[in-house]
Every structure is written in C-alpha cells, then in structure tokens.
Amino acid sequence: MMNKYSINDVREITIPKIVSPENMGSLSFIEKDIIPFSIKRVYYLYDVPINGERGGHAHKNLSQVLFALNGSFEIIIDDGNNKKTIFLNSPNIGLFIPSGIWREMKKFSKNSICMVVASDIYKESDYYRNYKDFINSK
C-alpha cells in the first residue's frame, strides 16, 4: 500500500544559485538539507525527442526531485483524484514528488536534460506502471 500523499504535497524546491560577479555563468548545488530525503540515487534523462514523453508511472515508496538542467518540459502529476501540470525550465528549481503520485512528462524542448534525485536505488517492485493498478491501490 502506498503512502497517502496528494498533489498538494508536490512542491517546488529552489536550490542556491550563485552568479559569477565576472559574468562567467552560474553555479547551483544540492546539499543534504535542501532535499527532503536522503539521496540514494541520481540519474538524468537526455536525448528525449522534441515533444517526447517519459514517465507514465508512480512509485509506491520512492520520492524524487526533478530538475530541468537544460531546456524545458511539463510534468503532469495525478494523485488519483486531482491532476495538475507543472512546467520546469530552470536548473535551480526542482519539483519534489513524494511517493504515490502518478507522473507523466511531456513537451520536452530541444536538448532537454532532466536530472532526478531519488530517495532509493532502482527497484522494479516499487513501480506502478499501469494507471489502473495505481488507481486500484488507492
């Protein structure tokens, strides 16, 4: 049985952004006190075709924060009762998605890179990959 989070528990997380005084770019970082869980895995999505789609699943226990390191994309979140679309396009603003939230990623722009920090290692048993199974778990 999944945790009982709703889309109201999904929130943006802003990580620090340090702009070079010499106008030589910016630097952002993630530390343990910024992310609301202990990070066990980091991965990223890239080479997604323009307007491509990813996701289409929910996690039973795992929580994540997604960042658009480059480009942009939409994330549709769904708790089984409500849906919301969130647009990510800034490398220092992430989206915290707790367990039990269905997510679909759409409308990737050219050269998009999505970095994900996760609360656990990969476990196929933690996924709901079928929307009907996700709804029936509620």
Task: Supply the residues annotated as catalytic.
Answer: 57
Phi, psi angle pair for 113, to nearest 5°: -130, 125
- Tally DSSP H helices, then E strands, for the chain: 1, 12
Q: How do the residues of the chain divide into helix, strand and coil, expressed in percent and rounded to 5?
A: 10, 40, 50
CB 84 within 8 A of CB 77: yes
* DSSP secondary structure letters along 55-106: EEEEESS--EEEEEEES-EEEEEE-SS-EEEEEE--TTEEEEE-TT-EEEEE
